[in-house]
Amino acid sequence: MYLPSHVNDLSSQTSPEALHTSPPHPIPKTTETTREQISKETKLPTMGISVEEAHNVKVLGSDEKTVVLAHGFGTDQSVWRHLVPHLVNDSRVVLFDVMGAGTTNPDYFDFERYSTLEGYALDVLAILVELKVESCVFVGHSLSAMAGLLASVIRPDLFHKLIMLTASPRFLNDVDYCGGFEQGDINQLLQAIQSNYKAWCSGFAPLVVGGDMDSAAVQEFSRTLFNMRPDIALSLARTIFQSDLRLLLCYVTVPCHLIHSMQDMAVPVEIAQYLHRHLGGKSVVEVIPTEGHLPQLSSPDVVNPVLLRHIR
């Protein structure tokens, strides 16, 4: 998947370590892209199973406005269960499972396709095209926030606005950039996943969610995280933590709403301001008084009113 030529030109100015996006196939560049072209580009190795079945797509409600809820690493669509009841009466709500989640068929996980975030962006487009969505409010958490952002560069016409919850274009620290992690930290994390996945899940969950191991939110995240196949979790973690979409931010023209926790061990709050400064279109930032990387799970009473205000 080749990015638009102007983006490829910029990508060539930095090292592979700084921008982990090496797309193998051409992608559509215009809003006139046909359904057949998108379907071809987003074809999954699903043995004839539809995109909807492969991603466990659910459509709730029937209003003209479409709201797409996309979860992040280690969770599945159930992470939105506190928010969905507030949306279904006045929106068409689309839920799906990101490929690699424990609720998806691991046989459909293409390690090459998902070695960069473009694979996930194409999945988003495949779902929107399959459901004949003409425009949507896209609510993406973490990984899916960046996949939605990349998808909006490819097909901006399909997105009315992006609501990005605890999103980061790069997790690694760099010169004049605080991503939150050093390369050594990432290496240790990947080694821990590889050596003892269950033990890693038990230690990672309370750190990311915030709180002790006995809290309901930590227990729930531990469950969905552990449901992932370990080799897929390792591959996906490597993709996320080694990716860098900073040079693509200026090509985002869809309005973005950036919502970040006050305290998040995975994404420093400074990232919200970084995104705000570098996005190509309009953006607003709201920092909420929550702790952890999954506030929609750990603090729904706080985050739901914020999300609903930005959605509507």
Is 86 marked active-site? no
Q: Which two tokens stand for residue 267?
A: 């994404």
Which residue has better confidence, 308 or 3?
308
How many CB atoms are closer than 10 A to CB 57? 18
Cα-trace Rg, the chain: 18
- 11, 91, 115, 142: which is the annotated catalytic residue? 142
Please state, rounded to an integer, the average pLDDT across all residues of the chain: 86
pLDDT at 49 (0 to 100): 79
Contacts of 268 (CB under 8 A, 6+ apart): 178, 179, 180
Is 293 marked active-site? yes
Q: What is the mean pLDDT of residues 217-240?
A: 95
What is this structure's pTM? 0.85
pLDDT, tens digit (0-9, with 9 covering 90-100), for 29-72: 433 444 444 444 555 554 567 899 999 999 999 878 999 999 99
**pLDDT over threshold 70, residue 287:** yes
Residue corresponding to tokens 């959605």: 311
pLDDT at 5 (0 to 100): 38
pLDDT at 211 (0 to 100): 75
Beta-bridge partners for 66: 92
Q: Do 92 and 103 meet the contact criterion of CB atoms below 8 Å apart? A: no
Would you call 26 helix, strand, or coil by DSSP? strand
pLDDT, tens digit (0-9, with 9 covering 90-100), for 141-193: 999 999 999 999 999 999 999 999 999 999 999 998 999 999 999 999 999 99
pLDDT, tens digit (0-9, with 9 covering 90-100), for 91-115: 999 999 999 999 999 999 999 999 9
- 222, 261, 264, 298: which is the annotated catalytic residue? 264
pLDDT at 213 (0 to 100): 76
pLDDT at 148 (0 to 100): 97
**Rounded to whole angstroms, how far apart are CA atoms 67 and 90?**
10
- 20, 55, 257, 293: which is the annotated catalytic residue? 293
How would residue 15 be classed by pLDDT, with cut points 50, 70 and 90? very low
Q: Which helix (H) or strand (E) holds 140?
A: strand 136-141
Q: Which two tokens stand for residue 274?
A: 């970084």
pLDDT at 64 (0 to 100): 81
Would you call 197 helix, strand, or coil by DSSP? helix
How would residue 214 be classed by pLDDT, with cut points 50, 70 and 90? confident
**pLDDT over threshold 70, residue 11:** no
Q: What b/e sequence results for 200-234 when a residue is b if at least 16 CB atoms lie within 10 Å of its CB, and e otherwise? A: bbeebbbebbbbeeeeebbebbbbbbbbbeeebbb
pLDDT at 51 (0 to 100): 92
- Give me the DSSP letters along the chain: -BPPHHHHHHHTTS-TTT------SB---STT--HHHHHHHT--SSTT--HHHHTT-EEE---SSEEEEE--TT--GGGGTTTGGGTTTTSEEEEEPPTTSTTS-GGG--TTGGGSTHHHHHHHHHHHHHTT-SSEEEEEETHHHHHHHHHHHH-GGGEEEEEEES--SB-B-BTTB--SB-HHHHHHHHHHHHH-HHHHHHHHHHHHH-S-TTSHHHHHHHHHHHTS-HHHHHHHHHHHHH-B-GGGGGG--S-EEEEEEEE-SSS-THHHHHHHHH-SS-EEEEEEEEESS-HHHH-HHHHHHHHHHHH-
**Rounded to whole angstroms, how far apart are CA atoms 65 and 55?**
21
Is 15 marked active-site? no
How would residue 9 be classed by pLDDT, with cut points 50, 70 and 90? very low
pLDDT, tens digit (0-9, with 9 covering 90-100), for 122-133: 999 999 999 999
